[in-house]
């Protein structure tokens, strides 16, 4: 029987929906419960969960520390997650994927430019039409900045982030997760739509983070301790 492997993105352990399904109120308890499930799956079924090193491993460590998780969570991360650097030199990825990625990025950049142009136009037009009770030119500038331009800039930032970041790979850890999964023929676990989209492009199995704990529970519920002998050792 082939051994199951999973490569975890940071969101695999921090996803809010997964935490709610586990019945945990805070992120530290949710991480601890997920790591306990990973420990049980590894000891009883030979299932291995990897994290790219140092990128995703560092993110998990910092996330746990920033949320004041106790040392037990840090210890579980070190104990039950297999840390491995992705082979960035020898893992082969079809050139078609990068061609589509470049085209996709160009489309997103153009979309962001259009949004910026529309926002600037709206702000400028409204500035010209705005009536103020200011007594000096300085007061007029301040009033326009706070009441008109500020509101448009806020909307612009939200739209710009949505246009450029949703559904794309925007960090080195994201790419490391995909490369390592490709290298190990493993499934990716994440809640990031960009990772999901490009996992499909690369032919890598994808598991939503909010279902991963339930999948491990199902494995453990149906698993038999004797099955462990059929799996390879680390």
Decide if 27 contacts 73 (C-beta within 8 A). Answer: no
pTM greater than 0.75 (yes/no): no
Strands (E), the chain: 5-8, 48-52, 82-84, 187-190, 206-208
* Low pLDDT (below 70) residues in the chain: 1-2, 125-126, 128-148, 165-170, 224-234
At 228 the pLDDT is: 43
pLDDT at 56: 97
79 by Cβ neighbours in 10 Å (0-12 / 13-18 / 19+) ranks as: exposed
Distance CA 133, CA 131 (A): 7
Q: In whole angstroms, what is the distance from residue 49 CA to residue 212 CA?
A: 11
Euclidean distance between CA atoms 32 and 30, whole angstroms: 5
Burial annotation 146-156 (CB, 10 A radius, 16+ → b, else e): eebbeebeeeb
The torsion defined by the Cα of 180, 184, 190 and 193, in degrees rounded to 10, comes to 70
**Which residues, 6+ apart, have CB-to-CB distance to 177 below 8 Å?**
7, 8, 9, 52, 56, 188, 190, 195
Give the pLDDT confidence of 163-220 residue by residue, as tens digits: 776 666 667 898 999 999 999 999 999 998 889 988 998 999 999 999 999 999 999 9
Q: Which residue has the tokens 């326009």?
A: 144
- Name the maximum alpha-carbon separation found in the chain: 84
């Amino acid at each position: 029987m082939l051994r199951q492997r999973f490569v975890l993105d940071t969101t695999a352990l921090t996803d809010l929906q997964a935490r709610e399904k586990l019945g945990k109120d805070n992120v530290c308890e949710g991480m601890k419960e997920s790591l306990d499930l990973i420990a049980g799956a590894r000891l009883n079924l030979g299932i291995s969960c990897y994290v790219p090193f140092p990128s995703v491993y560092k993110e998990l460590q910092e996330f746990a520390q920033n949320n004041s998780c106790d040392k037990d969570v840090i210890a579980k991360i070190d104990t039950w997650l297999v840390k491995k650097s992705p082979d960035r030199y020898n893992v082969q990825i079809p050139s078609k994927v990068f061609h589509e990625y470049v085209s996709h990025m160009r489309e997103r950049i153009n979309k962001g430019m259009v949004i910026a142009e529309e926002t600037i136009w709206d702000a400028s037009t409204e500035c010209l039409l705005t009536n103020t009770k200011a007594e000096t030119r300085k007061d007029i500038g301040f009033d326009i900045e706070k009441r008109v331009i500020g509101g448009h800039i806020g909307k612009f930032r939200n739209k710009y982030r949505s246009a450029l970041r949703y559904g794309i790979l925007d960090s080195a850890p994201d790419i490391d997760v995909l490369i390592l999964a490709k290298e190990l023929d493993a499934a990716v676990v994440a809640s990031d739509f960009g990772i999901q989209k490009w996992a499909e492009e690369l032919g890598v199995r994808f598991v939503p983070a909010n279902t991963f704990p339930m999948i491990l529970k199902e494995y453990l519920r149906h698993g038999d301790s004797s099955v462990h002998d059929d799996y390879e050792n680390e």
